[in-house]
Structure formats: structure tokens, C-alpha cells
Structure 1
Amino acid sequence: YLCNLVALANQKYETFKARYSKLGLKVAIRVGMSKIDVGEEELVIVDEDVKNANIIVGTYEGLDYLIRSGQYSDLGDIGVVIIDEIQSLSDEERGPELDGLIARIRSLFPKCQIIALSASVGNPEELARNLNLKLVRYSERPVPLERHLVICLSEKDKLKAIENVIKQEWRTISSRGFRGQTIIFTNSRRRAHQISNWLNKRGLKVATYHAGLTYPRRKMIELGFENGFYQAVVTTYALGAGFDAPASMVVFESLAQGINFITKSMFENMAGRAGRLGKHDRGRVVILVEPGKKYRGAVEETEDSVAIKLLEEELEPVEFSYDIEGCADQVLAYISAKGEVFLDDLKQYYSMLLGASENLDHVLETLLKDGMITMNNGKVAVTPLGRATATSFYKLSEVKIAKKYLKDDMNVLDVAILLEPFTQIYVSTKVQGELEKAFNVRFSSKLFSDAILDVMDVSTKKEMPKLPKWLLELFAKWSLEFFNCKCKEAPFCEHGIVNLCKKIVKLRLEEKLKLREISSRLQKEYELYVYPGDLFRWLDSLIHKLRGISRLAKVWNLKEAAETAEQIVKRIERP
């Protein structure tokens, strides 16, 4: 069973283990997480041995690592592969990886059955035909769903409407004896906290839920909601798929995700969470719209016109196409898995890639030129560099960046951060409020947004609104410690983010701080905020980049760089 989210993989793993262990079946999980010691602040899932497993649950990348590294024989004789959320093929980042993974599974395990699942594919017949699968279309819904469009004249009207529908739903008790509970979707974490705080002040029991919270906090909210402690949970679209709770009603407070409107498939996925079989008699979806409202940066459409489209239009088709680098990544992954492959076999594999838009000869020329493969007598073989690249999930462009900077003796940590910068760093509400007051416009809370960076260098602004002394001193502190390069592009260059990320890693390595302690220190000293959950995922990603650097450095005979990368990994995991 393969899916796109670690949280979903873990849910299925626990479900399958409880269900099938009684039958003597062994269940194993593969999600590719590092082993960061963060105490109870986050759930660290350790990959298990798959050799003797009857059922393997994993993320796409978690399983693909075994294939790319040539260990696919450990999977044994696979009978069935279930690929959940198949619409991820449309995803710009992960689509090519999923496309390649399906082709690799088909090539390496030709007898296995593939079952693809999705609730949001607009072109199911075409997709089934492209994947050579038989379409099983089920359009019935076991719990009927009501849809309501509510017109609000302001944000305050929306809050009052949310309060009213939550109370009404809470008073509704199903024939099974369950009270009605609500999930509220909004477009940002900041807004989620604002809505939650307002509702709690009105006497309701409401929690905010998003990926930035620590694992114990998220788990506590999940259990509290399932046990009927909370009347409602406010969350963002970004984590909608990860919150699998038995709600009877879903409310759309906003139809935007960030600064763009949500898609039809996102809407259907979120709306589908209303009404749970065995608990509720019906599900209810409430869309709140403010006529004429537009979002900064979004396409020129109003909230009410988008709402009508979401209710009336068909689902978007799953479409896929990727460039030469995407094609090269997936070809290299297959060659790496096999070690050596006949050109005819490679052509057959390449024909299975749905999004491959480049000629295979051109792709092989690119890999050959970059030193990833060798070609002799109708055979294509992976080089040590190619194997290191494929198992590290590095793009060809990232390998070139790593090589350039490592050969120039750049600090290993700097290279890893350049490849995996941490952008989810926010200014405090105090700073944000002061800027909005001074400029009389809404400011993004993200430190590295253009608006925040633009006002930092106040000495270059002749008509700058008057800012308080403490804020000017704070900007000066940021400039001295983080944005201290001589670049013409400063503070819009990469040095500010690299220096701030190095500060975070330093707090972990030298002061041995845990996630919440790092967050508290940044807020206390710099009026900056990072969510512990975001910090955990970034450190996990940074570790994977460092391991990739170590593999590449060994190929390039840069022993010191390889050893340094491995030492940093060990110290991040267990400082």
C-alpha cells in the first residue's frame, strides 16, 4: 500500500497491523524518515525490514528508495500494489516520481496487480486507459451530502455564521447517538488561529490544527475530536488530507489556499470529509462567500464566482508532462535499480512513462554527458555517481550545484542549506502588527516575503513611514547577524536564509535544544517564529540532503566533505 503522506501511511500501518496481525501476517512500514531524537515532540517512524513482511505500507519515496538502490529483491514476490491518491500524478513536484515508480514496479514485478485509488480524477476513463487498468467507477455515497452556499457581507459576518452553524450542528444528534461536529477550512495558519480564538471566546470548544504543531498536540486534538470533546476544529487546506476525523459538517471559511483559489479536486476532497458511515445520517457542506471579495495575488476572480464554479464544474483532469531533467531522473532511477540494463528493456520501460516528453536518445545523451551512465554493446550501466544521485533523489541540477560548491571548498552545511532552505520562518505578530499599522496594508507573516525584506533596509527608503525605535533596532540586528553580505541583491539574495538556517542548526548542535526550545529562542531574541512541526520536517529533509552530499563527495574523492556531512547528520539526530 503506497500513498503520498507520512501521516496517512502511518494511519494505514496501524490499521493493517491491528487487523492482520491476528491472522499471523507481518506488516512493515517504509517512509524514509531520519532518526532525529526530539523526545516526545514529534513522531519518528523507523523503517522496518521488509524481507519477511506480508504487507508493506509506505510513501512513494519510502518504497522507491529500495528500488533505486538495487534492493528491490528484498520486496519478494509482490502480488498486489495499491497506489492511493493516484491524482498525485498531476503534482508538479511528485508527479514525475510517482509516474516513474509505477513504471519501475511494472518493469521489475510484471506479474503484480496494480490498484489505483482516487476520489478526485476528472478523466478517469483516459487515466485508466493510459495506466492500462480497468476502470471501476463508484459514484454512490453511503452518507447523503447537503451543500449550502451562505452569503456574508464581511469577515465578521463569516465568524458569526460559523458560530451559528457549529452550535446548530452540535445540537443535532444522529440516529446512532453522535453529536454533530465541524471541520472549518481556511487559507492560512494565522487565520485558523484567529477564527479559533474568536470562537473560543464565544464559549465554544474549538481547536486549531495544522502541520506546524508538535505531534503530541496534533494527536491530542485528533483524539479530543474523535471523543467528542471539541465542537469544531479549524485547519488549513494544506493539512486537510492528514486530518481524518469523523466530522458531520465541513465549513469553507475561505476559498483560497494562500493567495490562490482552491481547485475543484481540493474542494471535493475536503467536502467529502462531511458525514461518516456508521456515525452520521447525513453530511453537510457550508460554503461562506463574501460577494466581490478578491485575494491579493490571486487570479482576477471574486469569491462568489469561484464558489459557483466549484459547485457546478467538473473535476480537473489528471495531466502530466515533464522536462528533460524530469525524464532523466526517472530513467536514471531505473538504470540504478537494475545496475545494468539492455537498451531494448530501457526503451520498453521508457514507453511506460506517461509524462515523458523527450526523446530517449536525448535523455541518454544528457545522462552520459553528466557522468551518470556508461553505454557499451547495447547495454546501459549506472556509474557510482549515477547510483549516488538516484539513491539520494537528487536532480541533475542539484548534483551540479553540489559539485561546484564542494570543489570550491564551501562549507558542507552551507551547501546542504542551499539545496534545502528552510523558508517557513515567520515574523512575530508584534512585528507584523506594527508594519501593518505603519503602512496601512496587510503584510505576509513570512520573513522571506518580498514585502518584509523590502522594508528591512530602512536606510534606503526616503519616504519611509515612521517606525518605532525597537523595530528599527530589530531590523539592524537581523542585518548584522543574518543579512550581512555585500551582495547587490541583498537582502533578496540567498545569504540571509543560509545564515538564519545555520543559526537554527547551531542551536541544535551546540546548545542541544529541542524543537520548542529552538522556537522559543528565536522568538525571544529575534521576534521570529518557527512552528516545531515545520522545523522537524526541515531537519529531516536537511539530513537527507547531507546524506546525499556524503554519497556524492565519496564519488568525487572528497573524503573530508563526506565525513563532515555524516558527522553533522549524527549530531542533528542525537546532539
Structure 2
Amino acid sequence: MLYIIIHPQDSKIAVLPIKDNSREPAFYGTLILKKTPKGARVGKFRVKRGEKEEFRAPDEFIELLRLADRILIAEGNEESEAGFKELLSAYQLDYGYTSTCRLCLLGGRYTTVGNNSISFHNEQVCEECAKKELVREARSCRIGRHGQERLIKILLGIRNLDRVLAMLNHEKLDSGLTRFDTIEANKVDRSIKVKDLHIHDELKKILLHQLDELMPVQALSVDAGLLDGKNQLIVSATATGKTLVGELAGIQNILNKRGKMLFLVPLVALANQKYEQFTKRYSSIATTSLRVGTSRIIKGTKGIRTSLSSDIIVGTYEGIDFVLRSGNAGTLGKIGTVVIDEVHMLEDKERGHRLSGLIARLKFIAPDAQFIYLSATVGKPQWLAEKLGAALIEFEERPVPIERHLIFSPEYEKKRLIERLAAQEYNKTSSKGFHGQTIVFTNSRRNCHMLADSLTIKAMPYHAGLSYSERKRVEERFGGGKLPVVVTTAALAAGVDFPASQVVFESLAMGIEWLTIREFQQMLGRAGRPDYHDRGVVVLLADPEKRFGKGDTEDEIAFRLLRGGLEHFGVEYGEDEMLEETLSNTVVARRLSDIKKIDELLLGEGDLGYLLDKLREYGFIEKTNAGFYPTKLGRIVASHFLNVEQTSLIKSAVLKGRNALDIITELETLDAVYFRYASRLSDALGTDIPTRVFGAGLDIVYSADGISKLKENLRRTALDFAKEFMACKCKDSPYCGCAQKKFSARVIELCAEGLSPDGIIAEITGQYGVYAYAGDMLNYLDQAARNLEAVELIAAIYGKNELSMRARELREKMEGC
């Protein structure tokens, strides 16, 4: 079977001889017609096979037409088509028409189009050509393999190449196509009417003001023995009502005289939020206190209760553990309920061992207490439940559906997209009567401020570096529906409750590290609240060209996060971590049998005998007839959360008689210091300057060559900084750390002179052109005061009384005593 496919073009006609329904022609021919008195005739006929091309006699073309079983004309240039028909008529040859892929014809192939064709520019093309065109455009936008596969899947679903290509053009985004998937809302029938609960009448009265029936996860927990004092691990998505499970158990136990409730969280901001909620909700039946390690620099916020005698104590993990490590466990009184929120922090490399130690110590001092553990993201829930000795209540669904969208976006387009997405969301009103509000996650505090300030829609930054009052103002405005957008960092907002309907990921990184699947799932869980919204929306803005080092690009990371399951890291802690927990255990329990009891409750495993021997070797504990007893040094180490290395540094420096200020700046420095005029410095120096002062930018800005390029006002502040903090003779200068230590010492001195954190920030900004956030400044000064106290106490142990006195004087000046 021989078909001759004719494709009329502007000044020529393509000729494709097709044998036996093949896509590839026997050769690719080009016909040029000439006008004669008798009509159009063959002028030139050229044949190309592979790389070889040659002209053929006009008669050969006519002979080819006569040999053909069918001559089929594809749509093309009308004038060329009319001329070719004249030629056929002259030789009395019949013809027909064919619907073909024009892109194939242009490429020298033949493909018919029909039911499997794809719409493109008001015509139909074949799947292969549509895919090639799509991949070509995707590659020009630097979209990786997974992104290309995603686009092709959408293409084969809707069979319209124009709509898919519009996904690469942010002016024409189609939310129906950017939607990656939808996590459906659950429709679990199990529920319990509040009026039918077997709880204290006072608690029932309070609950009935809020709800008529329990949410499914709450009902499942009650069915599993929550009100009978059973220990439980609740693993359920954000906004499913986990917190109320802990409250039900805790308040019921308080009213039944079983003891107080400890409600423990990892973040100060979250503790503040829970304290305010519980104070408002339960003030008629219980007193509530807050224990987060009250600031030494700024005395407690007016009106906040901190007494350990309260019925409900809301605290951070470290805030309550300080009480235990200081040997004051008895001041907590009778404990009836312990609620551990965000219990997946047990797998955190930095803080996991401390949470494990805290849980073990609390179980030891309150063996009859009910323990409720809460988390939205646990890699192996059954494993963790067994480790904690708790019944597992696992509830995988959500009260409202979540749409997850993926948009490929270069960095410079993201701000405009966020503005459009946030404005569209805020203009919507849910069936509950609430405007849609947006949380935007970015990867740095600087970006929080820059993005919030640059958006045309009203937005405010929120991160751990802000002061309590600044964070509080954002929480109140957002909670009241008056603020359309909050821009926050991934690290903080994963735990704080903002009633957002939409979450936008401006970045898929935290600092310069890509998000883990657990972090991502924690954050996307912020979208959609059953009491506020009908659905949640999550949008990932992925830049195909963004990468860190030689790793994956942001669009590849987006697919890993969207498709990934939770990792399980386990709870293997190092020797230093186990030494810290074992020492703290000896503060709580003196007898060896009791120390063993607590050790068996730890999730991490270590050789207890070896650990106790090491603690004796370091002088942290002494052996007694009954067991072990912490030394004065050991008590200081435990209560100040010092590790072996830090303790060794302090002890060595004390014995050498070093200055107290030198010791504490050797121990810890203020890292979060930023260039006030980073963009102006970058312009003046002709290079992109990092915003952090103590890093790669230190040598660039404060070198003689760098300072000489600055304008007068910038040069003055840079010279002041260099003269005061960079005059050292270290071989590794300016990367020796001396500048950072000297700067931190100056900050401490300003505090001792009576300046508040805000006052110190104003001083360093005006004099040196650098700044810090109020929250970071306060946290550093608080830690410096605690470290001074450790130096003071350790110096006294070793008879260095003058050093001890100097450390105390400096600390008291900082604290305003």
C-alpha cells in the first residue's frame, strides 16, 4: 500500500511517500510548481534520504503519483493546494484529504489525528509532538524531570496543550490544573454528645458553651478509656481537636482531686497562646500558670501568673525540666495529668534527649499521673506508643478537605503570585462567615520582613526573633480576621495556631536546608480550620532554577514533599546527651534502684554503669551507700543545662582566673546580627552581601578595600565596627571568632549599663550599622545571665571568690537588681 501525502506550503509542496501505514516516509520530497499556459506543472522535484539530497526529473514525480494507491492532501497553503489540484487534473489523477499532525509534517513524518489528538493553537496535533513541544517549553523554564512528567500527565488528561503551557505563564494560571491532589475530609460517623459525657458538671457546662458534640478523634479517645485515666498517644492531623483530648483528661482529673495538669509544649509562643486560652476558658474552675523560664532581663509580663501551685501549669519542656533539674520536683505538688504536645520532638537531634529525660523524670515523680501525648506527624506511631506505654489513637483524616497546588515559578515572580493568591483568598467568605487568610512560609527572618513589607496586600512578619508584644499583636490581628497575610519562618509557625485557610510556601527550605517531609506536613496542616473554613488550600511555589550546592532543584524537592511519607529517625542519643540525662536523673532520684527506674523509662539506650562512672570521673556525682548524689558542680551543670564540654570550658577558665565576660562570650555569642543596610552595601561593593554580619560578609565589608568603596555615612559606621571589634592578631582573622566575642561582650556591657534590649538595638544600629531582633537579643541576654550565674557558682566551688563576685555583680547589673 502506497500513499502519497501532500502538504501545500507557502512556496513549495512537501511530498511524503508512505508505505504500509508507516509514520516515516520512504523519502522527504520537495515539489516546486511552475505556471504554464496549460496550468500548473512540475518545475523542480527534490528528494532527500538521510543526509543525501538530489534533484529528480519531473516525469519521475508524475510516475510516483500514478503508482500511488491514494493521493491525500493535508491542510496547508490554499494557493499551493489549488496549483497542485490543477496538476492532478491535467493528468486525470484522483485525490482525497487527510487530517494530519502539522508538526509531524514539518518534521518529515506522517501521523493522522483523531480521537487521540491534542488541541494546540486551534488545530489538532499528535501526542508525541504535543509532548515534545511541552518538554521543550518546560526545559526552557528549567523544569526538571518530575515536573515534566507532571505536566505530561496533565496534558494527557485534558488533551489541550495551550492550557498546560499556560501553567508556565503566571498571568493565565488555571487552578484546576495546578491542583496536585485533594486530601479529602473525613466522614467518620462516630461522635459523642457532650451532654452524654460522664464528666464533672462544671466541665460539661464549659464545654457546652463551645460545642454540642465531640469531634471524631475526641470520641475515639473517650471510647478508648480517656476518662478512665488511660495513657494515650493521639496521632491526628492539625485542626482535628487533639488539644481538647488533653484538656478533657486534665480538667476532669483536677475536678476529681487527682492532681494538677501540666500542659507542655516546645515553643514559648505556643505556651503563651495555650496559657491565654486556658486562663480564659477555665478561670471559673481552675487557676492557670505559665512556666517558660521567666526572663531575667525583663521581669515577668504584668498579669501573668507563674506560681507552681496553680491547677494548670502551661510550660515549655525546658521550663518544667528546670524545676526538676534544680532539685525542686516537690514544688510541683500532686500531678494528675501530663500532656506532651508535639511529642514527635523526641526524634529531634538537638532537643529529643531532653524531652525523653523530662518524660522519664515526670513518670518517676508522678507514677499515678495520666500521660497524654499529642502529635500530627509520627513516623511509626505504633512503635512510639509502645515505647511510651500508651494506647494509640490514630486518626488519619481531616475535618476539612485540603487542596494541594504546585506552581512552577521563578524567584522574581513569587511575590506577585503571593499577592494575587492572598487577595483572592481574602475576598472569599466561608459558610461560617470568615474571610480567607493566608500564611506565607519563607526560609529566613530577613525574608519575612522584606516580603511582608513589599506585598501590596496588608501583611505582617512573625518569627521567634520578635518580642513577645510584637508576636502578640500579630496573633491578635490575625486571629480577629483583620490581617489578610502573615509571613513567617518554617521553624516557628509549625507549632503556633493561626486560623488560616491558605498556606503558601514561598520557599521549600529552612535556612539553606530543604524542608523534611515531617516539617512540610506540620506546616501544610495550618491550612483549614473546621470552625472557620470549608476547605484548606496549600500552594507550593517552586523555582526550577533554585538549588543549594549541587543538590536537587526546588521543583524536584516539591515532588518529594508532595509524594513522600513520614521518615522515622528513632531516638538514638549520643554519649554527651545520655550523660546529661543521667546526671539530671541523679538530682531527682538518689538511690541506685530509683536511678535505674528512670533510666529504664528513657527512650534512648546507654550503659548506666559506664555513664555513672563517667559522671563520677567528671566530678558531677558522688557514690553513697544507697546510690549516688550530685555534687555542687553536678547540680549547677544539671540546672543550667550545661554539657560536659561547656562545663570543662568554664572550669578551666575559672581555674586560670579568666575574666567572667571572656568566659561567657567563649561559651556562647550573639549569632543573629544583621547588616542594617545590606542592599546598599551590596550596591557599593558590587557583590551580593550576606545579611548576617558574622559570616562570609565579614571580610568583604570590613576589609580596607571594602570600606574604601563605601559612601561617607556607611564608611563611618563600618570603620567604627572594624576598629572596636576586628583588631586581633589571630592567624585566621577575621574568621577566628574574636570579632563575634568582642561584639557580644559589648552587648552585655550595654545591658549592664541599664539599656533595655530595644535600647541596645538602637545603640548598635546607630553606631555600627548592624541590628538584631528584639526576641533574639532578649534570649541571648537571658542566656548570658544564666551563664554568668553558672560561672559565679562554679568559681565559688573552686575558691575563686573574686571572680565569683565579679560574675555576680555583672549578672545583677544585667538583671537590674
Identify whether the pair has TM-score above 0.5, normalized to the shorter chain.
Answer: yes
Q: What is the CA–CA distance in structure 1 between the aligned matches of 2:450 and 2:432, rounded to whole Å?
A: 33
Matched positions, count:
554
Q: What is the CA–CA distance in structure 1 between the aligned matches of 2:471 and 2:629, rounded to whole Å?
A: 46
Measure how far apart 1:434 and its partner are.
Answer: 2.6
Of 155, 161, 178, the residue aligned with 2:417 is 161
5 Å matches for 1:145-156? 145-152=402-409, 154-156=410-412
Of 445, 448, 458, the residue aligned with 2:691 is 445
Identity of paired residues, percent?
A: 38
Counterpart position of 2:805: 563
5 Å matches for 1:294-309? 294-295=547-548, 297=549, 300-309=551-560
Q: What is the CA–CA distance in structure 1 between the aligned matches of 2:400 and 2:750, rounded to whole Å?
A: 50
Q: What is the CA–CA distance in structure 1 between the aligned matches of 2:734 and 2:359, rounded to whole Å?
A: 43
Of 779, 797, 806, the residue aligned with 1:537 is 779
Tell whether 2:337 aligns with 1:80: yes
The aligned amino acid for 1:168 is: Q
Counterpart position of 2:595: 346
The aligned amino acid for 2:466 is: L
Counterpart position of 2:221: none
Asked if the contact 1:87/1:318 (under 8 Å) is kept, the reply is no
Measure how far apart 1:482 and its partner are.
Answer: 0.6
Of 541, 564, 568, the residue aligned with 1:313 is 564
Counterpart position of 1:15: 277
Q: What is the CA–CA distance in structure 2 between the aligned matches of 1:374 and 1:348, rounded to whole Å?
A: 19
5 Å matches for 1:30-41? 30-37=291-298
> Which stretch shifts more, 547-556 or 402-411?
547-556
Tell whether 2:507 aligns with 1:257: no
The aligned amino acid for 1:351 is: E
Measure how far apart 1:474 and its partner are.
Answer: 4.8
Q: What is the CA–CA distance in structure 2 between the aligned matches of 1:253 and 1:483, rounded to whole Å?
A: 37
5 Å matches for 1:475-514? 475-510=718-753, 512-514=754-756
Counterpart position of 1:117: 374
5 Å matches for 1:149-228? 149-152=406-409, 154-200=410-456, 204-228=457-481
Q: Please provide the CA RMSD for this pair.
A: 2.3
Give TM-score scaled by structure 1 length.
Answer: 0.91
Measure how far apart 1:533 and its partner are.
Answer: 1.7
Counterpart position of 1:525: 767
5 Å matches for 1:408-487? 408-429=656-677, 431-435=678-682, 438-440=685-687, 442-449=688-695, 451-456=696-701, 458=703, 467-468=709-710, 470=712, 474-487=717-730
Q: What is the CA–CA distance in structure 1 between the aligned matches of 2:422 and 2:772, rounded to whole Å?
A: 31
Of 304, 307, 312, the residue aligned with 1:49 is 307
The aligned amino acid for 1:3 is: V
Superimposed CA distance per residue, residues 196-245 of structure 1 (whole angstroms, 9 cap, x where no aligned partner): 23313xxx222222233333332222222222322211111122135422
Asked if the contact 2:684/2:710 (under 8 Å) is kept, the reply is no
Greater percentage in strand:
2
Superimposed CA distance per residue, residues 158-184 of structure 1 (whole angstroms, 9 cap, x where no aligned partner): 222111111211121111111111111
The aligned amino acid for 1:517 is: G
Q: What is the CA–CA distance in structure 2 between the aligned matches of 1:548 and 1:466, rounded to whole Å?
A: 44
Asked if the contact 2:460/2:485 (under 8 Å) is kept, the reply is yes
Q: What is the CA–CA distance in structure 1 between the aligned matches of 2:289 and 2:516, rounded to whole Å?
A: 35
The aligned amino acid for 2:416 is: K
The aligned amino acid for 1:435 is: S
Counterpart position of 1:379: 627
Superimposed CA distance per residue, residues 241-293 of structure 1 (whole angstroms, 9 cap, x where no aligned partner): 35422111110011011111111111111111111121111111111112232
Flag the structure with larger Rg: 2
Q: What is the CA–CA distance in structure 2 between the aligned matches of 1:287 and 1:44, rounded to whole Å?
A: 41
Asked if the contact 2:685/2:710 (under 8 Å) is kept, the reply is no
Secondary structure of the 1:230 match is coil
Q: What is the CA–CA distance in structure 2 between the aligned matches of 1:513 and 1:74, rounded to whole Å?
A: 34
Q: 1:378 to 1:336 in 2, by over 3 A?
A: same
Measure how far apart 1:188 and its partner are.
Answer: 1.4
Q: 1:62 to 1:45 in 2, by over 3 A?
A: farther
Structure with the larger RCO, 1 or 2 (CA within 8 Å, 6+ apart)? 1
Q: What is the CA–CA distance in structure 1 between the aligned matches of 2:520 and 2:295, rounded to whole Å?
A: 33
The aligned amino acid for 1:256 is: A
Superimposed CA distance per residue, residues 506-531 of structure 1 (whole angstroms, 9 cap, x where no aligned partner): 22222x22222221221221111111
Secondary structure of the 2:452 match is helix
Gaps of 5+ in 1: none
The aligned amino acid for 2:635 is: R
Measure how far apart 1:26 and its partner are.
Answer: 2.4
Asked if the contact 1:33/1:540 (under 8 Å) is kept, the reply is no
Measure how far apart 1:550 and its partner are.
Answer: 2.1
Measure how far apart 1:49 and its partner are.
Answer: 2.6
Q: 1:391 to 1:539 in 2, by over 3 A?
A: same
Q: What is the CA–CA distance in structure 1 between the aligned matches of 2:265 and 2:502, rounded to whole Å?
A: 26
Secondary structure of the 1:468 match is coil
Gaps of 5+ in 2: 1-262
Superimposed CA distance per residue, residues 312-346 of structure 1 (whole angstroms, 9 cap, x where no aligned partner): 111121422222211111111010123x222x332
Asked if the contact 1:31/1:45 (under 8 Å) is kept, the reply is no
